[in-house]
Amino acid sequence: MSERSPLDRCPGLLRPFVADDGALVRLRMPGGRVAVSVLREVVEIAAAHGAPVVQVTSRGNLQLRALPNPLPLAVIEAVEATGLLPSASHERVRNILAAPLARDLDPLVASFDAALRAEPRLAQLPGRFLFAISDASASVLSERWDVAYQQTSERSGTLYAGRLGREVAPAHAVRAMVDVALRFVETAPDGAWNVCDLPSDSPVFEGLEPSTAVAAAPLVPGVVGTDLVAGVPLGMLTLQHVEALAEAADEVVITPWRSLVVPSGAARVESLRSAGLVTEPEGPWARISACVGAPSCRRTTVPTLDLARSAAETVASRRLTATQDVHVVGCERRCGTGASDRVLVAPPTVDDVVAALTTTVPTATAATRGEQ
C-alpha cells in the first residue's frame, strides 16, 4: 500500500497546518448539514482562541485560523463537544459533498460516511480525495470530485470515477463507492493524490465504462422555492451571520460555493441580508472570492482579501454590473479556485480586480490546488 500521508498537508483538528498567522484547523461536515447551534459554538471557539470568523471553504468545510501553536487541548475538547469529530482516524478523509437542496439524500450520505469511518484502510486516503453524492438535479457534480454517485430514481443511479462510470442501484451505492476508494488506497502509485493522477489502466477503473457526468451549474445566492441560498461574503462567517441564521432555521446546509442553504429561508430574506449575508445573485458580493493572502499566508505579500473587499465596494458604489465570478489569489498555487472562476493571480491594484469583475471576456482557469 502506498503511504501518502506524510506529505499530505490537508489539515484537520488533530493535525493542524501552521500558517503565518498561527495554527489552522479544518472541520468536515459530510453533505454540509449542520445545526445552527453548532455553527454558533464553532464561531465562539474561533473568537475565543483565534480569528473571530470561521472560513467556509470551497469544499463546504469550516476552517478556524490564527489559533495558538501548538493547539491548546481546550480547543480540541471544545470542537469534540460539538460532535464534529466522530472519528479521530478518519477526520481528514470525510470529504463528502451532497446536493444541497436534496434532503432526501441525507440517509445515503449518512450511510456512506459511516461506512467510510468503519473501514480502517480508508484512513489512508489523501486529504484531497473528494466524494460527491447527487440526485437527478446533478448538483455538486460540477466540482472536482474523485468518486461520485448520482441517484436518478428510487431504483437507479450511476457510479462515476473520473470520466468512467457504471449503473449501480441506490441500495448498492455505498459499497460501490467504498470499493473504488479501497482500490485507490491499495493500488495508487506514490504521488497520486486524486483519481485524475492515475493511469488509464489503473485497477481503480475496473468494471467502469466511458461515461461523463452531466453537471448542473453551482447554486447562486437567491430564493429557491421556500428556501434561500445565502452567500457568505468572502467565505467569512461571523457571529452576526449566525445569530441571524438562528432566527431563521435550526439547521443549514454548507455548500461548496461559500454559501448556505437556509430551509424555509425565503421568508427571512430581509433579516439575513441586514446581517450581511448575500441574498441575491446580482452584485459583486455574489461574484467575488479570494484566498486568505497576506499577512496570513507566507506564500504571498498580496493582501487578497483587502483587494477583493475593496473591489466589491467599488463596483457597488459606482453601480457597475458584476458579470464574472472572480477569485483573487496571491500566488500560482491558486488555493480555493472554483470551477467557474476567473482567477486573478497577485493583481497589483483594486482597479484590476474591478475590471475583471465587470468584463465579459472568458478566461481559462487552472485546477484547484488547495482548499480555502
DSSP 60-128: S-EEEEEE-SSPPHHHHHHHHHHT--S-TTTGGG--EEE-TT-GGGHHHHHHHHHHHHH-GGGGGS-TT
β-strand partners of 231: 259, 278
pLDDT at residue 196, rounded to an integer:
95
Q: Which ranges in 126-274 belong to alpha helices (H)? A: 173-187, 239-248, 269-274
pLDDT at residue 284, rounded to an integer:
96
pLDDT, tens only, 52-111: 999 999 999 999 999 999 999 999 999 999 999 999 999 999 999 999 999 999 999 999
pTM reported for the whole predicted model = 0.93
What is the fold of 1-83+234-277?
Sulfite Reductase Hemoprotein; domain 2 (3.90.480)
- Give SS3 for 172: helix
pLDDT at residue 8, rounded to an integer:
77
Q: In b/e form, how buried is each residue of 289-299, taking b as 16+ CB within 10 angstroms?
A: bbbbbbebbeb
Helix 173-187 vs helix 106-118: angle between axes, to the nearest 10 degrees? 40
pLDDT at residue 361, rounded to an integer:
56
- Those residues of the chain that have pLDDT short of 50 are 1-6, 363-368
Domain limits, the chain: 1-83+234-277, 93-210, 284-358
Architecture of domain 93-210: 2-Layer Sandwich (3.30)
Interacting residues of 209 by C-beta distance below 8 A, sequence separation 6+:
164, 165, 166
Instruction: Please check whether the two domains, 1-83+234-277 and 93-210, share a CATH topology.
Output: no
pLDDT at residue 372, rounded to an integer:
77
Q: What is the largest CA-CA distance in the chain?
A: 57
β-strand 236-237 against 54-56: which pairing, if any? antiparallel
Q: Which helix (H) or strand (E) holds 237?
A: strand 236-237
